[in-house]
Structures are given as C-alpha cells and as structure tokens.
Amino acid sequence: MSDDSRPSPHDGPAAARTAAVIPAAGRGVRLGPGAPKALRALGGTPMLIHAVRAMAASRAVSLVVVVAPPDGAAEVKSLLDVHALPERTDFLVVPGGRSRQESVKLGLDALPPGHDIVLVHDAARPLVPVDTVDAVIEAVREGAPAVVPALPLADTVKQVEPAGTPGEPEPVVATPERALLRAVQTPQGFDRATLVRAHETVTGDVTDDAGMVEQLGLTVVAVPGHEEAFKITRPLDLVLAEAVLARRRLNDGF
Ligand code: C5P
C-alpha cells in the first residue's frame, strides 16, 4: 500500500492543517568531527532528508519548515530540491539560532497562517515511523495542548550530585521509581497558539518543547513512542540506524 492510499483520520474537510518544524541547526559534536549532524549521510541520504520524509509521510502534514545551520541554509535548500519529496507537502528553509530553543522559535516565526497544529521534530531522529507521527497528531486533534511520544525505560535511573571533574565518582542522591518514568522522543505535537505562547513566555533552558508548555501550567500527555524513533547522538547510534535501514530495505524487497 502506498502512503497515498493509507487511510487517515485526518482526511476530512474539518481536519486542522498540520505543519512540522524540524530544528536541524546543531553541530552534533558528540558524533565526532565532520559536517553538521543533520547533513551526514545515512544509507547514502542525508539524515535531514530522512527526517523531512518521515514528517511528510503523514497525510496530515502539509508544510515542513526546516531550520538549517545559520551558514547552511542555501545548502539545505538545494538538498531539498534534489531529493524526491511528496508533492502534496510544501517546504520552507530558515536559518537557525544558537540553541535548539532559539532554532525552534525561528521556525515558528516563519509559519504562515492556516496551520493550527504544529509538530516539532529533531532532525536527529530520522527514522520515526509514520504511525507514531499520526498518533501524536491525533492526540492533539482530540484536544491535548501538547503531546509527546514516550517509551518506558530499560535502565534504572539515578539522580546524582554532578562531579566538577569528568570521571570523578558522583554521590547518588535519589532513585526515582522506574515505572513512573518515560524517555521522551519527537515529534512532539502542539496546539499552535499554545506553543507560540510557551516560546514567548518561557525563557529558562529546556531540552524539549513540551517542557515549556508544562511551565505554563498546562497538561502534556504522552502517547506510545517507537524504538526506531531513537536520537542519533553518538557514533554507535549511526551503526544502529544503518541496521534499521538495511532491515527496512530487506522487508520492502519482499
Ligand atoms: O543537541 P541535540 O541532539 O539535543 O539537538 C536536537 C536537535 O536540535 C537536532 O536536530 C539539532 O540539529 C537541533 N539544534 C538546532 N539548533 C541548535 C542546536 C540544536 O536546531 N542551535
């Protein structure tokens, strides 16, 4: 079944239009030296193109805004031009900022009117399946102001008193109950007005957009995430991503 024939809960005339903002302006220093992380190849295709296709795979998404490295907007524009992308989706490229938060804000500022739901998706999560994207959109459509895909943790998590020097032993101060914890992924989905207000109001450092909505005192809900929506941060993550792509190609071949 092609993506176009996939039944979708978002097909009706009343369906709110969804835009996806992809912050892709980070250097990715933990991945080692080289091109900005989003432009590195995965299965021969830049990670960013995988991420853009993952958002555009949802029939609800009619616009994708890519937030490029500040000195790489032209390169990103030409990448989007040369790679096949769905015709039903529009694309915009804007230069990013110094922090992820600033980059997302610049992406939001570039959104034209008419998109009431906004997804924010890390370029560093190129392999998120379309069913996860659709589940996030659906939960926003059902009335949640903010939605995160999330998975239970395999590891027990300890809170420590961070050592001043890397490698020094760190005193453990607490062990949160693992069953109550979730590892949060992207795309995170938002009622557009709520996300805009969060970015105008919250100034402290945050590591995700839903955290800003929490700071407004609003409820954020979690829906099931997917193990293939993992974030590519370290070199080993690239090995895993190549293996996931190889398995997909094998499955598509049959
Ligand atoms: O650094 P981290 O892995 O948390 O970055 C998450 C996402 O935010 C990546 O897709 C990265 O490109 C993006 N980012 C950005 N602008 C920055 C820093 C990170 O768009 N200044």
- Average pLDDT value for the chain: 92
Give the Cα separation of 251 and 247 in Å (integer): 6
Query: Using a 6 Å cutoff on CB, does residue 104 contact ligand 1?
Result: no
Tell me, what's the pLDDT at 58?
97
Q: Which domains, ranges and CATH numbers included, belong to the chain?
A: 17-252 (3.90.550.10)
Residue carrying the six token digits 């709520």: 194
Q: What number does the ligand 1 atom closest to the CA of 97 have?
A: 21
Q: What percent of the chain has pLDDT over 70?
A: 94
pLDDT of residue 12: 45
The per-residue pLDDT for 3 is 44
Task: Using the mean position of ligand 1's atoms as its centre, give its distance from the Cα of residue 29 in Å.
Answer: 11
Question: pTM of this prediction?
Answer: 0.92
pLDDT at 242: 97
Task: Say which amino acid occupies 224.
Answer: P
Residue at token pair 């800003």: 212
> Does residue 148 register a pLDDT over 50?
yes
Q: Is the CB of 23 under 6 A from ligand 1?
A: yes
Q: Distance from the CA of 91 to the center of ligand 1, in angstroms?
A: 19
pLDDT for 102 beyond 80? yes
Confidence of residue 158 (pLDDT cuts 50, 70, 90): very high
What angle do helix axes 100-109 and 192-201 make, rounded to 10 degrees? 130
In terms of Cα–Cα distance, which of 14, 52, 10 is closest to 138?
Answer: 10
Q: Among 12-26, 49-63, 112-126, whose mean pLDDT is lowest?
A: 12-26
Q: Quick count: other Cβ atoms within 10 Å of Cβ 162?
A: 9
- pLDDT the model gives residue 6: 44
Report the candidate in 190, 186, 192, 195 with the shortest Cα–Cα distance to residue 149: 186
Closest Cα to atom 21 of ligand 1: 99
Alpha helices in 70-153 (DSSP H): 73-82, 100-109, 130-141
> How many CB atoms sit inside 10 A of residue 245's CB?
18
pLDDT the model gives residue 7: 41
Distant-in-sequence, close-in-space partners of 148: CB < 8 Å, separation ≥ 6:
136, 184, 185, 186, 188, 208, 210, 220, 221, 222, 223, 225
Ligand 1 mean position, distance from CA 1 (Å): 34
pLDDT tier for residue 15 given thresholds of 50, 70 and 90? low
**pLDDT value at residue 5:** 42
Ligand 1 atom closest to 23 (CA): 20
DSSP H or E stretch at residue 30: none
Mean pLDDT over 229-247 rounds to: 96
Average pLDDT of the segment spanning 184-209: 95
Q: Calculate how far, in angstroms, residue 8's C-alpha sits from the geometric centre of ligand 1.
A: 30
Mean pLDDT across the stretch 133-141?
A: 98
Q: What is residue 1's predicted lDDT score, i.e. its pLDDT?
A: 37
